[in-house]
A and B are shown apart, each in its own frame.
Chain A
């Protein structure tokens, strides 16, 4: 660290520098979601994003490759930017009942691992715990991980592909109306 308390690039490996670059991105995203700034959140995604949440099955340990359903099977979410934008717009209609009154959420994002890809994009995995409280006493802890492909756009990072894997087989919540 130098006198200004900024990381000294000379003492960091490229992986460490990448980690320090990405972690604030994920922290900012978490605050945008928890403060319900969904339009700003939507801007964190590229126009060609795939926002994908496969189903997670109980399979024998030796058949672990079948645990997550592949793209092309029915997913919990398989959204492009337009569908995501529809979901965000919906919240402002005053009649999106699942989220009106809105959920109280807390996104805790950690365990970041990032690696650069040959095409200049970055693959980043994070673990999440998302607490959701809704109406009077409904509450749910959603646990899982994200695997993102990040792209540099206009000097900032954007998510070009997000795969969300929940640590659940039967989702124990009444619906999945919050963003992960």
Chain B
């Protein structure tokens, strides 16, 4: 679109970006419409609504949404807004209910969203109320390996096309086992930072040896985990890839090691290794040899606001973001392994997590720097590795030559521009699916 772009916030050749996108109210309002009103948004996991009539309260951007499983087992994402005046019809975090009654005037909806009962239907409304047009507003829902996504856009492509070749990598965590995963959580807290700072941070491996050095150092001392240094990261054969809007990093080593995740320690390593060995044949059957033995998803984000697995950055105005931290566990893993991963997860991520607590002031000050008209004249610099990424013979997406790169960051803001400048989904480019998905795993799990 060249110079006619409405939003031209990043110069791809220099990596300079306009700070205004982190604090400008008008831009934020437009994001809610053009990004959160259009994109497939991760909103839940099937394990949060396991049975008939279960519900889980979630958000699509700023909008409160009731994720329900109706009596027939079908999933619905319903805007939590009574069609009469706009009051919420659900005020709890989760539960089991066949119907939701608005506490204002008593309008009552079935858990598939249809309007069932209105007090005074005949006596006050003269039977003139059109029930069929007054159900709760419903989003389009699709699932990927148990993760539930929803979009408000009627013209959105299917979720499979939306994830595209990113799924080739995502499968190595979310789609490993026949039994699927279960989600625990969320812990929820309010961060004084723009939502994009945390999404962008997901594949910023450059910050790790500085921001998280203290946590890595004590975990090395207490748990026998490897020390973390810039040199290790610069030498790492791991990869940094951008695929169809989604930022991916992955471990690339032909040694069939278990994924190095929070919870691993000298004592627990054996648990991880035994489990990995025992499940390798199943994972090979599901994902093929290359992905089962060689590729391990690392830090990543799913556009626009899915962060490091099933964790959500929910915008709450340009300067605030509500963060939801979940842990995903393979359902058929041994209980002791699940416990170790759960404890590792809370110790490192979440509001009190040792790693996560050291991030927020960075993001917050990046956000606040953008509120000054003077400071804004000086653009953010995302120039690292410009011109050093391209297609790879083995791996889908745009692969950076080095693991430490700002390629994903630049491409994230370019993806942001594509959404912001498009009049409809027809104007938002999608990379075609090119990867070979060996194995039996599918979108459905």
Contact = CB atoms under 8 A, between A and B. Distances in A.
A86 B358 contact: no
Interface string B354-370: 10111011101000000
Interface stretch (B113-121, B139-147, B189-197): B189-197
B7 interface: no
A85 B221 CA distance: 11
A108 interface: no
A23 interface: no
Counting chain B residues whose Cβ lies within 8 A of the other chain, the interface size class is 35 or more
B213 A177 contact: no
A105 B402 CA distance: 43
B364 A77 contact: no
B218 A77 contact: no
B184 interface: yes
B213 A95 contact: yes
B361 A59 contact: no
Interface stretch (A38-46, A120-128, A155-163, A166-174): A166-174
Contacts of B361: 97-98, 135, 174
Contacts of B325: 74
Of listed A60, A72, A74, residue having the most chain B CB within 10 A? A74
Contacts of B91: 58
Contacts of B339: 72
Contacts of B354: 86-87, 90
Interface string A79-97: 1101101110110011111
Contact of B187 (A55, A90, A98): A55
B278 interface: no
Interface string B335-354: 00001001101110011101
Contacts of B346: 74-79
Nearest to B365: A135
A115 B78 CA distance: 48
Interface stretch (B92-100, B162-170, B249-257): B92-100
B153 interface: no
Contact of B357 (A73, A79, A95, A175): A175
B358 A98 contact: yes
Interface of A: 53, 55, 57-60, 63, 72-80, 82-83, 85-87, 89-90, 93-98, 135, 169-177
23 contacts: A53-B352, A55-B187, A59-B94, A63-B95, A74-B187, A74-B326, A74-B342, A76-B350, A76-B351, A77-B352, A80-B343, A82-B222, A89-B221, A95-B213, A97-B358, A98-B360, A98-B361, A169-B188, A172-B189, A174-B190, A174-B192, A174-B364, A177-B357
Interface of B: 91-95, 184-192, 210-211, 213-215, 217-219, 221-223, 322, 325-327, 339, 342-343, 345-347, 350-352, 354, 356-358, 360-362, 364
Which 3 A-B pairs give the minimum distances between C-beta atoms? A74-B184, A175-B357, A98-B357
Given A59-B95, A86-B219, 7 more contacts: A57-B92, A86-B223, A89-B222, A90-B218, A98-B360, A174-B189, A175-B360
